[in-house]
Amino acid sequence: MSLNSRKKRATDAALAAGVDALLVTNLPDVRWLCGFTGSSAALVLPRPSSEPSRKTPHAVLFTDGRYIAQANAEAVGTQVVIATKPPLTEACEWIAAAGIKRCGFDKTQTTVATLANMRKVVPAKQRHSLFVALDPLVAHLRQIKDADEIAKLRAAAKLGCKLFDHILTYIQSGMTEMAVAAELEHAARLAGAEGMSFETIIASGERSSRPHGHATTAKLPRRGFVTMDFGVILDGYCSDMTRTIHIGRASAEERTAYDAVLEAQEAGVAAVRAGVVTGDVDEACRSVLRSAGLAQWFTHSTGHSLGLEIHEEPRLALKRTEKLKAGMIVTIEPGIYMPGKFGMRIEDTVLVTRTGCEILTPSPKAWIEL
């Protein structure tokens, strides 16, 4: 989908919500709509003018002087204004001067203080009617990925799988979790990643019982689990995968628990299909762990969507009622965490299709003992 059609869809959604223009300040939304990747931006999508003589621009991007070259290169097809005041201030002044009566903004992305500042810069008579709080329209459009985005997410996920293969040849008991994270991140950068999509989780031994065990100076044990949850950002899009391996011989309890988590994860993947309720995918994972007597240790939700951001809507969680749609990209990541003992998680990123899903992270999930 071209950037112009994204802008048109967002403008149409704003008009349908009863406003004449949309003010977008969430940077991933700005990037998705106009291609600009800078850190300072306010984008205005006004209603197209009905008078052919007065040509209203389709989109106006306000940024600051640091981004003159970048904004003109990236935001092709969007009018760029280099603001001398804060970009949001100039955007609000422009909105008022353009005769816009009601301008929508994303109520989940705008603080009370920011809204007060937005109102302060417009004429008094417009102060209380101009800005209209809306549900996140752009984030909603971003839930369904287009072909270009799917290709980018597929490439990012593929790089994640390559990094997992690499790290398996590197890991040894006695090295620190930090060393594993550093190797992974170094290899990611060499392979073209712009960065990691979140802080790398390497949780070993007893620390594997922490769902978000960021890498520490703890040494990998001679016997025990190592949970690795990591993602790269490639061409703006995030990857996300988790694998848990075992160093040394496992106890029967550890092995049984792993098999149950793997079965739960596969049941979750099997439940994914367009039209299925997200809460039902969560339940598919949870019921396997319930049968294994382990559900009490599954203390987080089953998954989330991802794209330009690592956590997007919809979430796959208990009792959630949104329906999956073809073109969504979601994670399936059940895990169990037994305090003081051990824990594990297995996570894939999948593309929702009409008939099921395609796993974008096909790294092996079967038991690995190093």
| Contact indicator for 46, 15 with CB cutoff of 8 Å | no
C-alpha–C-alpha distance, residues 10 and 5, integer Å: 9
C-alpha–C-alpha distance, residues 286 and 264, integer Å: 7
Instruction: Give whichever of 185 and 347 is closer to Zn ion, judged by the CB atom.
Output: 347
Instruction: Give whichever of 149 and 347 is closer to Zn ion, judged by the CB atom.
Output: 347
Residues ≥6 apart with Cβ < 8 Å to 353? 273, 274, 326
Q: Length of the chain, please?
A: 370
Is 265 a binder of Zn ion (CB under 5 A)? no
Which residues 192-231 are close enough to bind Zn ion by CB under 5 A?
A: 229
Q: Least distance in Å: CB of 277 to Zn ion?
A: 20
Piece of 37-45, 51-59, 275-283, 329-337 that binds Zn ion (CB under 5 A): 329-337
Instruction: Give whichever of 71 and 157 is closer to Zn ion, judged by the CB atom.
Output: 157
Is 240 a binder of Zn ion (CB under 5 A)? yes
The mark string for 279-318 relative to Zn ion (x by CB under 5 A, - otherwise) is: ----------------------------------------
Is 331 a binder of Zn ion (CB under 5 A)? yes
Piece of 10-18, 189-197, 234-242, 263-271 that binds Zn ion (CB under 5 A): 234-242
Instruction: Give whichever of 7 and 320 is closer to Zn ion, judged by the CB atom.
Output: 320
Q: HEC states along 277-297?
A: EHHHHHHHHHHHHHHCCCHHH
Choose among 254, 240, 284: nearest CA to 367.
254
C-alpha–C-alpha distance, residues 95 and 79, integer Å: 14
The three-state secondary structure class of 174 is coil
The three-state secondary structure class of 318 is coil
Strand partners, 332: 348
| Contact indicator for 301, 119 with CB cutoff of 8 Å | no
- Number of residues counted as binding Zn ion (CB under 5 A): 5
Q: Least distance in Å: CB of 363 to Zn ion?
A: 13
Q: Least distance in Å: CB of 30 to Zn ion?
A: 24
C-alpha–C-alpha distance, residues 258 and 194, integer Å: 33
Instruction: Give whichever of 220 and 316 is closer to Zn ion, judged by the CB atom.
Output: 316
Q: Least distance in Å: CB of 229 to Zn ion?
A: 4
Instruction: Give whichever of 29 and 347 is closer to Zn ion, judged by the CB atom.
Output: 347
Piece of 52-60, 80-88, 238-246, 265-273 that binds Zn ion (CB under 5 A): 238-246
Is 185 a binder of Zn ion (CB under 5 A)? no
Piece of 13-21, 177-185, 204-212, 240-248 that binds Zn ion (CB under 5 A): 240-248
Q: Least distance in Å: CB of 268 to Zn ion?
A: 12
The mark string for 341-360 relative to Zn ion (x by CB under 5 A, - otherwise) is: ------x-------------
| Contact indicator for 210, 203 with CB cutoff of 8 Å | yes
Cα distances (angstroms) measured from residue 85 to each of 25, 44, 62, 65: 16, 16, 10, 10
Instruction: Give whichever of 40 and 302 is closer to Zn ion, judged by the CB atom.
Output: 302
Q: Least distance in Å: CB of 331 to Zn ion?
A: 4
The string of DSSP codes covering 198-227 is SPPEEEEGGGGGSTT-B--SPBPPSSEEEE
Q: Least distance in Å: CB of 293 to Zn ion?
A: 25
Binding site for Zn ion (CB under 5 A): 229, 240, 242, 331, 347
